[in-house]
Structure 1
Amino acid sequence: MSVDGGALAPRVLVPLRIDGEPPALGQRVHALAGETMGTTWSVRFVGPASLRLATIESAIVQVCDRVIAEMSQWVPDSEISRFNRAPAGTMHRLSPGFARVIDAALHIAAVSHGAYDPTAGALVALWGFGPSGPTALSPRHDAPGFRPPSAAECAGAHCGWSSLTWDTSACRLTQPGGATLDLSAIAKGHAVDQVSAVLASLGLRDHLVEIGGELRGAGLKPEGQPWWVDLEPPSNDCGLAPVRMALHGLAVATSGDYRKCFDDDGQRRSHTVDPRTRRPVTHGLASVTVVHEQAMWADGWSTALMVLGPDAGLDLANQLGLAALLVRRRDASEGGGFEEQFSASMRELMV
């Protein structure tokens, strides 16, 4: 499949249902952007030319700051940092946002049989992917003198989601002792959902939200088109046809081994650590993209499937009806390059 010049034509994904009417005549697309959570954010939304953009930007920043105050390990006095330092047996009433995320995280952990584990913070830090600076749990993988942890060090790190006691009705989480929560694989998606919600609450129903590459789109653009985005490939020269998607009432998140990795005695190591083996994944899966109605779930499930690998990940996506695209890096014996697999629900979106 190609277009003029030999370039591969994009595959197109569209939602199964289109709801709502195009924006009223005379409205325009506004854009705002900034930095948060160690990355960037951007929003586009439809509204009259007279919108007070400073007020809208302030509301967005407040949402992101609240998520940081709740779930950032990089902030010593955040809610999650206080929990991580707390003595064994202490119960903590979580804020609504934190409670929503931990509830989803524990569900994904249970269904994936621990492929995703919100208590893997100490283990992730051992491999150099935790916070840096004076509050760091261990040196960063890109710091001078970093060495991968030994098997004994990995075995000694507290990691086990089932050790947590979560009272859903009371929003109380009990620290079992030594548990280090790390919600970085799901909190960013939650932030995207919260920014989308605040835009809707301001009457801006037609919008596209992006934080660090995770996106959620709602409504339509002034000309009646949905918000079109191209899914991020594992590399610009991967040889795969682009995938273009209409984000209308949908969110998309991608986990990949191409964003952060390190060299371990000549071997390329992914930043994705498997809590079950306590080592970075080695199955060759380059990226996983999940499409869901909520960015939080797309974010969390993309990580779980990335840990599970191409076969088990695709099987679970099909069992759960998740729309997922898995891209595997072929080894030299297979001729190199990449191959992709679409779950059944993802194929339903293709036109």
Structure 2
Amino acid sequence: MNRVLVPQITVAPERPTGSPLSLRGETMGTTWSVNLIDPGTVPRHEIEALIAARLQQVIDEMSTWEHGSVLSRFNVAEAGSWHALPEAFATVLACALEVAKASDGAFDPTVGGAVDLWGFGPRVVNEALPSPAESAAAAATIGWRRVSIDALGRLQQPGGLRLDFSGIAKGFAVDHLAAGLKDLGVISALIEIGGELYGFGVKQDAKPWWVELESAPETDLDRFVVAACDLALATSGDWRRRFRHAGAWYGHTLDPRTGRPVFDPAASVTVLHKSCMRADAEATAITVLGVEAGLAYAERRSLAAVIVARSADGYDEHMTSAFAAMLDDE
């Protein structure tokens, strides 16, 4: 049985009159999809061109897999150098640093060196786990407090600092597409990139975009479906990318405070928010903090979040009050 989540809506969305349009493709090592109600005032090729351009912009600025990206060039820049930042990059970095500060480093955009070391970045690694010395060296490069931005908005490379936006860039890309589509006159759409989603408006029948919250594949809990009406959702799960070594699983979510994969992470953490970028980063922070500390953090931040944790009896759910308030009891 599905459990229904409905966000508070203060202004009734305008009912669209156009035809449905569904587009999809691949980006950032994953897939994307855009379902919208065509306003009829913009040619399809302009919508497709906007989507392609905005996705490519995120790659060109924030990809660790592209050697020529703004982020990759900063990561190998000489110590003491200063770098002007494109607006989108600066927006993502500002949000990442705000969440880093609030979470006391549970989310940290400077974790790039450890991501590479553990084989979750573009660098090819062998089958052996990093040595204690290698782990310590990578951990020493992490630290959001080392990030320095001057009055001109330029970012300094202090030496050895390696940014990684993998815990926030997809969420930003979703928001970036939504903003572009709205600028074109689209009033109803559901956008998804690699499991991160944002919906706005309603469909022709005045019903919202219904989305099922993602959880670990093996969970047997009743599913949540949410009315994605000016609402984003992001899920962090340890099943997405991981490897097994000597009988133990190592997931792609790293604890920036240790530079190592999170030990015994929750099966999944989902955050609902107006901003997909923020939901993306906050879901990672909660995962790193763990169930008890993560739940307390989410409550302090007034986040609508649900944590699904493994237990001796199967799975336990932990909801924040903001998340529980969205449950439709009818």
TM-score normalised by structure 1 residue count: 0.90
Q: Structure 1, residues 230-255: CA drift from partner, whole Å, max 9, x if none? A: 001211x4110000000001100001
Quick check: 2:61–2:89 contact (8 Å CA) kept in 1? yes
- Residue type at the aligned position of 1:19: V
Task: Tell me: CA distance 1:174–1:29, structure 2 relative to 1, closer, same or farther (3 Å).
Answer: same
Structure 2 residue matching 1:311: 3-state secondary structure = helix
| 1:21 Cα deviation after fit | 3.7
- Residue type at the aligned position of 2:119: G
Q: Structure 1, residues 111-165: CA drift from partner, whole Å, max 9, x if none? A: 111111111101111111011xxxx2x52xxxxx421112211111111111111
Quick check: 1:22–1:222 contact (8 Å CA) kept in 2? no
Aligned length: 326
Quick check: 2:213–2:224 contact (8 Å CA) kept in 1? yes
- Residue type at the aligned position of 2:268: S
1:66 maps onto 2:61 in alignment: no
Q: CA RMSD in A?
A: 1.4
| 1:264 Cα deviation after fit | 2.0
5+ residue gaps, structure 1: 1-8, 140-144
Aligned position for 2:322: 345
**Structure 2 residue corresponding to 1:164, chosen from 120, 127, 147:** 147
**Structure 2 residue corresponding to 1:197, chosen from 174, 179, 183:** 179
Quick check: 2:107–2:288 contact (8 Å CA) kept in 1? yes
Matches within 5 A, 1:11-50: 11-25=3-17, 27-48=18-39
Aligned position for 2:188: 206
**Structure 1 residue corresponding to 2:300, chosen from 319, 326, 340:** 319
Quick check: 1:228–1:247 contact (8 Å CA) kept in 2? yes
1:228 maps onto 2:200 in alignment: no
Matches within 5 A, 1:239-258: 239-258=220-239
Q: Distance in 1 between matches of 2:192 and 2:295?
A: 26
| 1:48 Cα deviation after fit | 4.8
Structure 2 residue matching 1:285: 3-state secondary structure = coil
Task: Tell me: CA distance 1:308–1:21, structure 2 relative to 1, closer, same or farther (3 Å).
Answer: closer
Q: Distance in 1 between matches of 2:41 and 2:164?
A: 41
Quick check: 2:16–2:188 contact (8 Å CA) kept in 1? no
- Residue type at the aligned position of 1:270: G
Q: Distance in 2 between matches of 1:34 and 1:84?
A: 29
Matches within 5 A, 1:261-272: 261-272=242-253
Q: Distance in 2 between matches of 1:20 and 1:91?
A: 47
| 1:166 Cα deviation after fit | 2.2
Structure 2 residue matching 1:233: 3-state secondary structure = coil
Quick check: 1:93–1:173 contact (8 Å CA) kept in 2? yes
TM-score normalised by structure 2 residue count: 0.96
1:119 maps onto 2:110 in alignment: yes
- Residue type at the aligned position of 2:149: W
Task: Tell me: CA distance 1:48–1:319, structure 2 relative to 1, closer, same or farther (3 Å).
Answer: closer
Quick check: 2:105–2:257 contact (8 Å CA) kept in 1? yes
Quick check: 2:16–2:187 contact (8 Å CA) kept in 1? no
- Residue type at the aligned position of 2:107: Y
Identity percentage over the alignment? 45
Q: Distance in 2 between matches of 1:211 and 1:148?
A: 31
- Residue type at the aligned position of 1:258: W
Quick check: 2:14–2:187 contact (8 Å CA) kept in 1? no
Q: Distance in 2 between matches of 1:88 and 1:29?
A: 51
